[in-house]
Amino acid sequence: MKFVCSSDTHGFHDKLLVPEGDVFIFAGDFSDRFRDIDKFNQFLGTLSHKYKLIIFGNHELLYQNRSNSIADLLTNGILLNNSELTINGIKIWGMPWLGDIQSIPHGSDILITHIPPFGQGDLKYERHLGSKELLEKIQIVKPKYHVFGHIHESYGISKCVINDHEIICLNVAAITGFDDISNPPMIFEL
């Protein structure tokens, strides 16, 4: 299966060039100052991916507390809110900005969070801004892929190796600043 991943478009999602694939993963921050969720839903509707998975980032805090009713507005995607979806035997866990790190289950193949784990795709102003608790959890859960964003300046791929198990960490932030799309979606197959 081909996974196409992005995050942090901050209202510029209509400028994102999304490659074809089976699953589109969006790791939070589609809004900028709470722009209309309808526009993001319309964008999702233009994508041909069979599955479109979304989690909320810190810019969706207004929506996160009302996620049950908001999920009804995302008719063109599937909102993961501390929840799992299995596609063709691949277990995917999605955790939003204020998610419960300890609820991430063992056996997750793909982990989607908005925040990065400490030391992986989290460098800004020469400081690591990722979560140490999340790093400890992924060292236990050992997903194959960890998809996140939030730290715009650290777009890229890194590897975390724990006892010969490799976790591919993808910071898929689409923008570097807050003015336009500068980074393409990342693709992996599983």
Q: Residue 34 — very low, low, confident or very high, per pLDDT cuts 50/70/90?
A: low
pLDDT tens, residue by residue, 146-164: 999 999 999 999 998 877 8
- Burial of residue 125, with CB atoms counted within 10 A of its CB: 0-12 exposed, 13-18 middle, 19 or more buried: exposed
> How many C-beta atoms surround the C-beta of residue 37 within 10 A?
16
> How many C-beta atoms surround the C-beta of residue 47 within 10 A?
17
Q: Residue 168 — very low, low, confident or very high, per pLDDT cuts 50/70/90?
A: very high
* Proportion of the chain above pLDDT 90, given as a percent: 72
Q: How far apart (Å, rounded) are the C-alpha atoms in residues 52 and 23?
A: 6
Mean pLDDT of the chain: 91
For position 72, what pLDDT does the model report? 73
- Which residues, at least 6 apart from 169, have a Cβ–Cβ distance to it below 8 Å? 116, 117, 120, 121, 145, 146, 148, 157, 158, 159, 160
For position 165, what pLDDT does the model report? 87
3 secondary structure, DSSP code: E
**Is residue 81's pLDDT more than 60?**
yes
For position 66, what pLDDT does the model report? 63
- Which residues, at least 6 apart from 177, have a Cβ–Cβ distance to it below 8 Å? 152
pLDDT tens, residue by residue, 82-127: 999 999 999 999 999 988 999 999 999 999 999 999 999 898 988 9
The letter for the amino acid at 75 is: T
Q: How far apart (Å, rounded) are the C-alpha atoms in residues 12 and 113?
A: 20
Q: How far apart (Å, rounded) are the C-alpha atoms in residues 5 and 174?
A: 10
pTM of the model: 0.93
What is the rounded end-to-end Cα distance, in angstroms, of the chain? Answer: 5
What the chain holds in terms of domains, given with CATH numbers, is 2-189 (3.60.21.10)
pLDDT tens, residue by residue, 175-190: 987 777 889 999 999 9
Residue 67: both structure tokens together: 């996620």
